[in-house]
Structures are given as C-alpha cells and as structure tokens.
C-alpha cells in the first residue's frame, strides 16, 4: 500500500512516508513556511549539530 501511495501523489515526500509508519503517531508535519521563517529558527544553529544540513533535509532541498 505504501509504494502505491508514493506513486499516486507528486507531493508525497519523505516526510509523509516517514510519518505514515507505525510508531510515528506522535510526530507531525510542520508547514514549510513555519520552518523557513528565520524567527522560528532563532538560536537553533547553536544547539543543533549540522543545523544547515538538517534544515535542507527537512525542506527537501
């Protein structure tokens, strides 16, 4: 079922795939606009190792 869902939607990305697995019910998909807003990311680069890499992965860039 998961593989057919991937082919059905061009917007189905790794985040949707990851969230669809059992055990990931406590996680949620945050809108890209929230993540791209610099104010919401303030000081995270100081506490998150490899912050720029993590951000690019989250935004599918």
pLDDT at 9: 52
3-state secondary structure 27-50: CCCCCHHHHHCHHHHCCHHHHCCC
Whole-number pLDDT of residue 46: 96
Q: Quick one: CA dihedral 13, 47, 49, 56, positive or negative?
A: positive
User: Which residue's entry shows tokens 């019910």?
Assistant: 25
Each residue's pLDDT tens digit, 5-54:
444 454 567 788 999 999 999 999 888 899 899 999 999 999 999 999 99
The closest alpha carbon to 1, from 59, 12, 25, 30, belongs to 12
Q: Angle CA(8)–CA(53)–CA(48) in degrees, nearest 5?
A: 120
The domains of the chain are located at 1-30, 31-61
């Amino acid at each position: 079922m998961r593989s057919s869902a991937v082919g059905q939607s061009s917007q189905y990305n790794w985040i949707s795939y990851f969230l669809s697995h059992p055990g990931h019910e406590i996680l949620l998909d945050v809108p890209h606009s929230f993540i791209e807003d610099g104010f919401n990311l303030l000081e995270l680069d100081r506490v998150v190792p490899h912050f720029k890499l993590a951000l690019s992965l989250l935004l599918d860039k």
